[in-house]
């Protein structure tokens, strides 16, 4: 974790006018983890149980949330009704909250990303407060036309694939699926999408919204394209609209999305629009 970037992220969050409650092990590191499983689980539960905490804002994605999910109590999380903000590795936590707790979350930039432009942070803050300004459409490029509405779920491709077969497997029934990825070779993206297809998961979605594929080039196979793999596999597995190059993912201009909210995907206009807020009452 970049301590200077974290401090700038905390300063931005404090500037929204809300007091901050920092997890005790926020800056701990154990190998490739942000502390031991017990430390990270304890921090999460401490924030869940704190009545003064309305939003749990993840510092960074990293790795490890899947190691502690089985030790959570869905009933406790459902009763606490905290808004969780994160993406990347946090995709599995968002899927857990939606599938097992019936809660919506905010898929958006975390605190360590201090290069997020003001417009993206403003959208994120508006969604956190339940303000209409957060519901503006995102524009991309058309791959297939059509217009559908459904529950918006998704996030990092590898994390969604990893949820298959678990109790918190992402719920894709009549969903609009949004996807992004970072630092995966085209063949690895191909493999993950084929797994989603062959599991039957993609048969249930109404449309697909594709964000950014960052650093997904191949040094071994220079002519290979992650984008082409996505177009080929999704184009044959999904009947509804598909829009690519939307502004979310591991990029600076990462526009926040509600995980579990109603949304509209318009393939003809190449737009993704949230139809309801992430929170009913602003924090």
Active site residues: 88, 180, 250
Bridge partners of residue 149, in order along the sequence: 264
> 140 — phi, psi (to 5°)?
-135, -140
Bridge partners of residue 210, in order along the sequence: 179
The residue written with tokens 């700038």 in the block is 8
Pairs from 24-30 (Cβ < 8 Å, separation ≥ 24): 26/59, 27/1, 27/3, 29/1
Q: In the structure encoding, which two tokens stand for residue 89, read together?
A: 């590795």
Distance from C-alpha of 13 to C-alpha of 253, rounded to nearest angstrom: 17
Structural contact between residues 56 and 46, judged by C-beta atoms closer than 8 angstroms = no
User: What's the chain's Rg over C-alpha atoms?
Assistant: 18
Q: In the structure encoding, which two tokens stand for residue 99, read together?
A: 């599938």
> 45 — phi, psi (to 5°)?
-65, -35
Distance from C-alpha of 189 to C-alpha of 280, rounded to nearest angstrom: 36
Q: In the structure encoding, which two tokens stand for residue 262, read together?
A: 């109603």
* Burial of 223 per CB tally in 10 Å (0-12, 13-18, 19+): exposed
**Chain CA centroid to CA 161, Å:** 13
> Reduced to 3 states, what is the DSSP secondary structure of residue 42?
helix
């Amino acid at each position: 974790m970049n301590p200077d970037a974290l401090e700038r992220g905390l300063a931005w969050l404090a500037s929204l006018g809300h007091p901050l409650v920092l997890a005790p092990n926020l800056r701990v590191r154990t190998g490739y983890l942000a502390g031991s499983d017990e430390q990270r689980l304890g921090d999460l539960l401490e924030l869940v149980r704190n009545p003064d905490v309305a939003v749990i804002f993840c510092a960074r994605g990293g790795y490890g949330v899947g190691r502690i999910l089985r030790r959570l109590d869905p009933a406790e999380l459902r009763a606490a009704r905290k808004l969780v903000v994160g993406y990347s590795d946090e995709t599995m936590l968002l899927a857990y909250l939606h599938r097992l707790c019936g809660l919506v979350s905010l898929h958006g930039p975390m605190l360590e990303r201090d290069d997020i432009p003001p417009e993206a942070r403003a959208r994120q803050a508006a969604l956190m407060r339940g303000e209409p300004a957060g519901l503006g459409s995102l524009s991309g490029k058309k791959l297939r036309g059509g217009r559908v509405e459904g529950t918006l779920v998704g996030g990092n491709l590898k994390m969604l694939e990893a949820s298959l077969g678990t109790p918190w497997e992402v719920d894709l029934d009549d969903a609009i699926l949004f996807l992004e990825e970072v630092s995966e070779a085209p063949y690895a993206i191909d493999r993950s999408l084929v797994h989603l297809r062959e599991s039957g998961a993609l048969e249930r979605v109404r449309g697909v919204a594709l964000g950014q594929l960052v650093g997904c080039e191949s040094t071994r196979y220079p002519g290979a394209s992650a984008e082409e793999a996505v177009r080929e596999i999704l184009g044959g597995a999904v009947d509804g609209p598909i829009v690519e190059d939307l502004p979310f993912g591991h990029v600076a201009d990462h526009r926040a999305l509600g995980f579990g909210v109603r949304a509209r995907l318009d393939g003809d206009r190449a737009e993704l629009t949230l139809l309801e807020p992430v929170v009913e009452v602003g924090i």
